[in-house]
Structure 1
């Protein structure tokens, strides 16, 4: 059961301002540009902007570790002392996400693609 860090989601309050900033930073146009999510790809890394992230308890960028069995990995993290932040949920197209806080308060996200 391996995990790879491939996605970082930033909670943002002003999506248009954030799009301008990350467009300037990455030098690319977003591959997804919706009112609920804007996504960029840069050197194999996904960078996402979530205008609803703060309302979901996100206080800063969340690294999402891509896993093949999100429920098993979530259970292992909780058993190891993590506190649940967001239970497994489908964010569209069968993509599943979940997140926890480690004992030091750091956010850890899990992501499972439907092909996993």
Structure 2
């Protein structure tokens, strides 16, 4: 997109956020924001894929 524009991050619900982080980084993505609790037992993390797209992961405990 245009410089300076940030598109909203799409969050994917996953059963095991750490396992999914390992999977996507093995596939070439880089962790942008490590898994952290945002309250209510919900964990989120964001990664950047090889094309530079930011993807979010979300796990409900």
- TM above 0.5, yes or no, is yes
Aligned pair partner of 2:12 in 62, 65, 68: 65
Runs of 4+ in 1 over 2 A off after TM superposition: none
Match of 2:50 in 1: 103
**Where does structure 1 lack aligned partners over 5 or more consecutive residues?**
1-58
CA RMSD of aligned residues (A): 0.7
Distance 1:89 1:97 in 2: 6
State the partner residue of 2:3: none
| TM-score, normalised by the number of residues in structure 1 | 0.47
Which structure has the higher relative contact order (CA within 8 Å, separation 6+)? Answer: 2
For structure 2, list consecutive stretches of 5 or more residues without a partner in the other structure: 1-5
Q: Deviations over 1:66-115 (max 9, x none)?
A: 0100000011001110011000000001100001011110011000011x
Equivalent-residue separation in structure 2 for 1:104 and 1:68 (angstroms)? 25
Q: TM-score, normalised by structure 2?
A: 0.87
Identify which of 6, 12, 21 aligns with 1:74.
21
- Structure 1 residue 60 displacement after superposition: 2.3
